[in-house]
């Protein structure tokens, strides 16, 4: 029994003139035209819609922040020692003299 092989490419179902793209129903021209029409309709629908109003949160005042002075600890109190530092050099205290006297009593 002779079987005839259908080797002809199927035609586009939209224009019926051009061969279909592989695994598609339409040819490239029809597929591109359909995409353009879909995008144009979508952008027209978006243009017709009224934009949603923007809601803003209430603004809160930022509290005033002031920079407080930070006491500086001497290098020896921080655990840093330098090779050129001698034992007879006094270490500067980060405390005021009145505060240092109060701590000593």
Q: Is the pTM of this model over 0.75?
A: no
Six-digit token string for 22: 């592989």
pLDDT digits (tens, 9 = 90+) for 9-54: 899 999 999 999 999 999 999 999 999 999 999 988 887 777 777 7
Domain ranges of the chain: 9-46
Q: How far is CA 15 from the centre of its chain?
A: 46
In sequence order, which residues have a C-beta less than 8 Å from that of residue 21 and are 6 or more positions away?
27, 28, 31
Q: Please list the helix, strand and coil fractions of the chain in percent, rounded to the nearest 5, in that order.
A: 30, 0, 70
Six-digit token string for 29: 């021209």
DSSP letter at 17 equals S
């Amino acid at each position: 029994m002779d079987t005839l092989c259908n080797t002809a490419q199927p035609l586009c179902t939209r224009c019926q003139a051009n061969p279909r793209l592989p695994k598609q129903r339409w040819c490239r021209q029809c597929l591109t035209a359909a995409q353009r029409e879909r995008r144009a309709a979508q952008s027209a629908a978006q243009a017709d819609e009224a934009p949603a109003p923007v809601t803003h949160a209430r603004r809160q005042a930022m509290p005033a922040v002031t920079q407080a002075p930070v006491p500086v600890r001497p290098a020896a109190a921080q655990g840093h020692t330098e090779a050129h530092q001698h034992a007879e050099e006094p270490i500067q205290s980060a405390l005021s003299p009145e505060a240092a006297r109060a701590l000593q009593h």
